[in-house]
Amino acid sequence: MANALMFQGTGSNVGKSMLVAGMCRIAVRRGLSVAPFKPQNMSNNAAVTTDGGEIGRAQALQAMACGLPPHTDMNPVLLKPETDVGSQVVVQGKRLTTVKARAYSKLKPTLMTAVLDSFHRLKAQHDLVLVEGAGSPAEVNLRRGDIANMGFAQAAECPVVLAGDIDRGGVIAQIVGTQAVIDPADADLIQGFLINRFRGDPSLFDDGYAMIEKRTGWRGFGVVPWFEEAWKLPAEDALDIATPSRPDGVHIVCLKLSRIANFDDLDPLAQEPGVRLTMLHAGQPLPADTDVVIIPGSKSTRGDLQFLKDQGWDEDIRAHARRGGHVLGICGGYQMLGQVVDDPEGLEGPAGATTAIGLLDVQTTMTDDKRLTTVTAMHVPSGQAFQGYEIHIGRSDGPDRARPFAQVAGQDEGSLSPNGRIAGSYLHGMFRDDGFRGAWLASIGASAGNASYSDTVEATLDGLADHLETYLDVDALLACAR
């Protein structure tokens, strides 16, 4: 059986995903067969796997760092928030149920068997499994029945390294406080700590670092400065979507929906030097100089359609279209561009129908048949082939389907308006394809740069690994695995 090492954080969004991705690439470069693992993730940014399921996007990135295709065993429990109090529960790639938070606390302990099954399968196939925790082990009110942090670590007998985020402030209290509140048996699993996201000269924290070692008795593995290139890697949290500030270029505006999903669709566009990408937040009007509006995917189409209307964005988008502007709806965004979204069985909330934006002559009916698949498609307007994936419920049909956005296996996909300026498609990931991205940008009067998106991501993963090698005691970290 392989060795394993778990990285837990003093809180959410302290950089655990990036740390694991970098450590995966380091281990691969040292000749190890390594796989990523996250027992439980909460994200609406999902990736379709080679075995026909879905996992969190961060684990797909970590798989890439390992040179592996994404597999459902890498993230056996995925929670996809649909409302403020409820989430869809995906187990080993397939939807199990939708529950509210209180009900999930009762369901959670029953999922440990699936978590450990997936973990042990990975261990049987690889030299090393690098595990990412979720949230923080200091959330001791959630310790009973835990499958994401110390509950998993105890069940799997997996050693732990604790990561603190100094950019948030209070990192000494983060780490010392974690030791103070967790159970001593859990604390015994922690092999040491590291400090992440330091800005400036790391030696300035020498005294604080020594204080943490003295107060906890844990060894430190290093202080990692801020990794400036992190924005080039797919973000798992919508709050982390990077939009570099550019003074000019074609202005693409993406609506920051309340349940935005699969927003890594935007990453390749953000990296184009000829594109100025703006994430439009609640309460902000559509900028007057907008060239293209993108309505992204959503985990709750009808809910986000109402959210969109509450911001007045439906009127802004219709006005933008009347002025000759371009609009692209992806997945849930495609459904919102139609005439109506009907959910007769209440799959995303209360049963009923919602009037949509009305720029495409299609109607959507939500069905319980979830489509999860990778595809090879051909963009009809340009004739450009590309790779993508589908991950959605609902079917859309109507007169504008006679003008498809793409062809997939000889079948029409998506819709175009009569003037071709309004487009809708269920296909995610299309902009990762360099050829398609160039053709699409040309169709809106922009030009693509020369960089390959996949090459950029690979080079950034190598840069991340170099960064961690420089500032962490990697040999000591890997020696902790067992």
| Tokens encoding 92 | 């080993």
Q: How far is CA 103 from the centre of its chain?
A: 25
Active site residues: 331, 428
Evaluate whether 252 touches 275 at the Cβ level (below 8 Å): yes
d(CA 103, CA 401): 41
Residue with tokens 């703006």: 278
Q: Which helix (H) or strand (E) holds 419?
A: none
d(CA 264, CA 306): 23
End-to-end CA distance of the chain: 9
Pairing of strands 352-355, 340-343: antiparallel
- Measured on CA atoms in the order 38, 111, 53, 397, is the torsion positive or negative? negative
- Mind giving me the DSSP string for 199-252? -S-GGGGHHHHHHHHHHH-PEEEEEEEP-GGGGGSPPSSGGG------SSSEEE
Q: Which helix (H) or strand (E) holds 371?
A: strand 371-379
Q: Which long-range contacts (CB under 8 A, 24 or more apart) does 181-184 make?
A: 181/138, 181/140, 182/137, 182/138, 182/140, 182/143, 182/150, 183/140, 183/143, 183/150
d(CA 212, CA 227): 23
Residue with tokens 């890997």: 478
